[in-house]
Structure 1
Amino acid sequence: MLKKGRLNLPDMLGSLVSGFDEKEMKNGGLRPVLEPGEELEIMEPNGIELGHKENEYGFDDLVNDTDLDKEGAFRTRKRPDKDGTGRISVMEVIAADEKRSDIEYELSQKEIYLEKVKRIGSMGLPDGGGLRATAWKLLLGYLSPSHDLWEKELTENRQKYVKLKEELLLSPSEYTRVKEDAMISAELSGERDDAGPLKRQGISHGDHPLSIVKASAWHHYFKHIEIAEQIDRDLLRTHPDLKFFSGESSFSKKNREAMRSILLLFAKLNPAIRYVQGMNEVLAPIFYVFSTDTDEKNAVNAEADSFFCFVRLLSDSVDHFCQQLDNSPVGILSTLSRLAELLKENDEELWKHLEFTTKVKPQFYAFRWITLLLTQEFNFQSILRIWDSLFSNPFGIQDMLLRICCAMLLCMKSRLLSGDFAANLRLLQHYPDINIEHLLRVAQDLSADTSSYSLSL
């Protein structure tokens, strides 16, 4: 959605997504488009009693979805890890070994050929060994193709993240204490800079927690408490079937705390967007992949790396979260229209049936598909595989995302053609399990005009 280069990371403070400040100022000053904790909602008509779907679909791989969490549109739905028969042939094992060898070789080169990484990634990156973590960082533009620059790039970004957390996530009193300790330490070592310690918006002795002055550092700190509470609630619901995210173990709590910092920092740096429920689901795969990197140094710094890659990923679709841009060429309604056009181009019969016969519009089901990058439609391992293809697509994430969404409709064609409004809406809002490799092949084979699509980051 956003053109390459639009996203600028700040040295310390400011919006991570450039352009929003200008948009808001034109409307008479900066104000949040979404209230703290406001949820994305599926656009569907009121008063519709959804019917129950049958158990047989166009694919033999589909199973029932009785485990669905119906309390919220964006809550994780438990799904069995069933994307096929579970039988692996000798040829598949050989192909997987060859793929692993290919990506290992490519990532070890002094100058990495990104097109080769994309070709391998489009067929699925190997699990384990940190290969997916490194490949994703390359494909999202977080690491440069020059291997020699990696250490410098990672060190600078990780230090920058620490400073951002210090500036924005510490309370004013904690921040002042840290800076005073740093100043004393610098004086004792004789290394104090003439400029003195960093100052946080000129925190004064008169600035205190009960201050009602809007410019108060404490006022800004308390303003985000409600957002933090919403993030905490959502993180408790993030993939409840995975111990990595869920439970009361110190391990899961540590992971949720890291994700909380990432999401809260993003909200503070982007006052025009803040935090929208569902962003936790978009962050989860990135943080999981980076945290399980077999390189210990990378795993320890997964929080910082995940933050910057999350920003890069979201920049490709951040306009979808901005309500004021809904009707613009970069808004969610425009993207939904592109999905409808893609379906029309590839299967006009199905398009007519959904659009005119049953009147199941894309905004009734694909709103969540697109904004949350399909994280609520498939099990976790399938999401990782799908994202390999999203990040590897030469025409950008949004191009491949729309292709997959269209393929999801085509793979359900027979059922959709025989269903009415209620049955079809329920089917598409609770998409059945499916063979992911087949789905991705269908998506890749679609015909589409990609001339207007933005390139990858």
Structure 2
Amino acid sequence: MAAYKARLKAFEDTLNNERIDLKTLRKLCFNGCPFEHGYRSTCWKILLNYLPLDVSQWKEILEKQRKLYTHFVHEMIVEPGTKASAGSQADDHPLNPNPDSNWGAFFKDNDMLLQIDKDCRRLCPDLFFFQKATEYPCKEIIHADSRVETLRKRVEHCVLHSETLKVDRFGKSNMIASRRKTSEEYSLLPDGQEAHWEVVERILFIYAKLNPGQGYVQGMNEILGPIYYTFASDPRNEWKEFAEADSFFCFTNLMAEIRDIFIKTLDLDAVCGIGSMMASFTSKLKEKDEFLYNRIKELDLKPQYYAFRWLTLLLSQEFPLPDVLRIWDSLFADDKRFDFLICICCAMLMILRDEIISEDFPTVMKLVQNFQTSKVDLQRVLSKAVDIR
């Protein structure tokens, strides 16, 4: 208990300086950020280059960035949503070939939005947080007098309705309307409320609109989710209120570092992106445990079967959320964070070494694709990763 209080005091002293000592902060965060007093939320904002080291600049930068995000919401969701609710202009219609037609962009966005919506609704299914109503919904969108079509309503309108002509045995025909259901149905909050997953959906939609060359790629929700959860759970209301905007910019900065692994054109054989990361992973494993490396090769257990997800989603699917947050403390704190990610992945395999050596392909495959079921202590994984590094 005394040691934990000493750690809290170390974070307090470091964050209360006029200028943050980055080296000290990295060292503290690498060993885990406390949730108390919003330390993790603040530290992640610094480590993800959202807040500068000069604390006197924080207020101005936060006001500027939050105002900019509000502008994005208005331009990309509120204005188009208002037009959709009010109906388009008479000379604009779905078949309008004019490149300036609002309908062209609308249809193009819908495919992307449907995927974002599907992914966000099932975000962290074991955690009720994302299904709960946020205390700070977008007022422009959910206000009682608002005439904006929300992204959720837009998705609901996208679901196709069809009519089937049915003829009975007496020759009488009837049109039967049917609604094409999505693969999963979800309970929704009443009008006037927004679930946290809807906030995540809005962030991803805006990000995709601002990055048309990349757009939305499945899995980005798993990267944004822990960031938003951390900021939206901040014990300080004055920070929690702006979790959406702050999450957007921290997610954007993180994606700037890892965007190559989400670009589809950079496939497994590319010299950069996910192919390069998996090559580095297998090379590191061979260097640290050549016998295990050869056994995995003998089983024909290719890294794309399991390491693709580990590396692309920063292990967010391999551990429960509290453990993911702890892992990300170390990743964000490390100045070579993705090298350390590779070390963690190697550690995971080396901890399963006995089973990999003794078991057959189906058993080993199940183990590495469902690492959570092995119930390995996270601290053991991190300690092994530090030894590997």
TM-score interval for Structure 1 and Structure 2 normalised by the shorter chain: 0.7 to 0.9
Task: For 1:424 and 1:261, locate their aligned partners in 2 and report how far apart those are by CA, in whole Å.
Answer: 39
Instruction: Note if 1:342 corresponds to 2:284.
Output: yes
Task: For 2:270 and 2:211, locate their aligned partners in 1 and report how far apart those are by CA, in whole Å.
Answer: 20
Pairwise mapping of residues 218-367 of structure 1 onto structure 2 (< 5 A)?
A: 218-246=103-131, 248=188, 253-326=194-267, 327-355=269-297, 357-367=298-308
The alpha-carbon deviation at position 221 of structure 1 amounts to 2.6
Task: For 2:287 and 2:29, locate their aligned partners in 1 and report how far apart those are by CA, in whole Å.
Answer: 27
Instruction: Note if 1:161 corresponds to 2:46.
Output: no
The alpha-carbon deviation at position 223 of structure 1 amounts to 1.6
Whichever residue aligns with residue 340 of structure 1, its letter is T
The alpha-carbon deviation at position 239 of structure 1 amounts to 1.3
| 8 A Cα contact 2:131 2:196, kept in partner | no
Whichever residue aligns with residue 77 of structure 2, its letter is L
Task: For 2:225 and 2:209, locate their aligned partners in 1 and report how far apart those are by CA, in whole Å.
Answer: 19
Task: For 1:205 and 1:427, locate their aligned partners in 2 and report how far apart those are by CA, in whole Å.
Answer: 59
Task: For 1:175 and 1:441, locate their aligned partners in 2 and report how far apart those are by CA, in whole Å.
Answer: 55
2:99 to 206, 214, 231: 214
Would the alpha carbon gap of residues 123 and 306 (structure 1) be closer, same or farther in structure 2, given more than 3 Å must change? same
Task: For 2:28 and 2:90, locate their aligned partners in 1 and report how far apart those are by CA, in whole Å.
Answer: 58
Q: Structure 1, residues 317-358: CA drift from partner, whole Å, max 9, x if none?
A: 111111211233222111101000000111111011112x21
**Identity in percent:** 38
1:424 to 345, 364, 389: 364
- The number of equivalent residue pairs is 329
| 8 A Cα contact 1:370 1:401, kept in partner | yes
Whichever residue aligns with residue 126 of structure 2, its letter is D
Structure 1: 4+ residue segments shifted above 3 A: 170-173, 203-210, 247-253
Q: Secondary structure at the match of 1:324?
A: coil
| TM value normalised by structure 1 | 0.68
Task: For 1:226 and 1:408, locate their aligned partners in 2 and report how far apart those are by CA, in whole Å.
Answer: 37
Structure 2: give runs of 5+ residues left out of the alignment: 133-187
Task: For 2:84 and 2:194, locate their aligned partners in 1 and report how far apart those are by CA, in whole Å.
Answer: 27
| 8 A Cα contact 2:314 2:341, kept in partner | yes
Instruction: Note if 1:143 corresponds to 2:51.
Output: yes
Whichever residue aligns with residue 325 of structure 1, its letter is L
Whichever residue aligns with residue 426 of structure 1, its letter is K
Would the alpha carbon gap of residues 434 and 221 (structure 1) be closer, same or farther in structure 2, given more than 3 Å must change? same
Whichever residue aligns with residue 13 of structure 2, its letter is Y
| 8 A Cα contact 1:239 1:246, kept in partner | no
Would the alpha carbon gap of residues 146 and 216 (structure 1) be closer, same or farther in structure 2, given more than 3 Å must change? same
Task: Report what 1:376 is aligned to.
Answer: 317
Cα RMSD between the aligned structures?
A: 2.3
Higher helix share: 2
Task: For 1:243 and 1:423, locate their aligned partners in 2 and report how far apart those are by CA, in whole Å.
Answer: 32
Structure 1: give runs of 5+ residues left out of the alignment: 1-92, 178-202, 448-457
Q: Secondary structure at the match of 2:36?
A: coil
Task: For 1:418 and 1:213, locate their aligned partners in 2 and report how far apart those are by CA, in whole Å.
Answer: 65
Pairwise mapping of residues 94-105 of structure 1 onto structure 2 (< 5 A)?
A: 94-105=2-13
